[in-house]
Amino acid sequence: MNKNWVLTEELLNDLLAWLDPDRDVAGQKYENVRRGLIKIFISNGCCDVEDLADETINRVAKKVSEIKDTYDGDPSRYFYGVAKNIVHEEHRRRVRPPVPTETWKTEDVDPEYECLESCLNELTPENRELVLEYYQDEKKAKIDHRRKLAEKLGIAANALRIRAFRIRNSLEVCVRMCLVKVTSEMN
């Protein structure tokens, strides 16, 4: 993100005019778009969601003069398309600890399993149960089980998928960190 770039009054006026000719309605649409962007970034597990929303608005504001005459449709959809690209950038930018490539010398217990158990124990009981249930079964049984789990929790299937993804993502980071620690202790 270019933190030095500042949204000028002229660009903001162009952006608001593109959203709606009525300044008050445009201001309300701007706020709705910003709230929607924040929700998008939260649901995708991003940090600094307000900064990302502002970055999205800034990128769109830079392009408004080029697209306003030819863009057809609801302008908020353009914002959400830019936000989708920023989410992809954020996911690529995340630093993942390296997975140790050494072979393990212990014969009793697999270090990966130990790390997974340890990380599962760090989760709340609800999250531990959810992630363990979510990854049960295969094929049709898996689909049916996930549908029932979503119903049991009173949430949509997509919301369940997002929750499970976030929990799994945090588990993956925890396990990788644990494996790095175990590797450094072995050396």
What is the residue range of 158's domain? 111-186
Residues near 50 by Cβ (< 8 Å), separated by ≥ 6?
38
- Exposed, middle or buried: residue 18 (CB in 10 Å: 0-12, 13-18, 19+)? buried
Among residues 93, 127, 146, which one ends one of the domains? 93
The model's pTM is: 0.51
Number of domains in the chain: 2
Q: What is the pLDDT along the chain (187 residues), one digit of tens a residue?
A: 455 567 788 999 999 999 999 999 999 999 999 999 999 988 887 878 888 999 999 999 999 999 988 999 999 999 999 999 999 988 887 655 555 555 545 455 688 888 999 899 888 888 899 999 998 888 888 888 899 988 988 888 888 888 888 888 888 888 988 988 888 887 6
The domain that holds 182 is classified in CATH as: 1.10.10
Residues near 186 by Cβ (< 8 Å), separated by ≥ 6?
102, 105
Examine the domain organization and report whether 120 and 89 are in the same domain.
no
Among residues 45, 62, 93, which one ends one of the domains? 93
CA distance linking residue 38 with residue 45, whole number of Å: 11
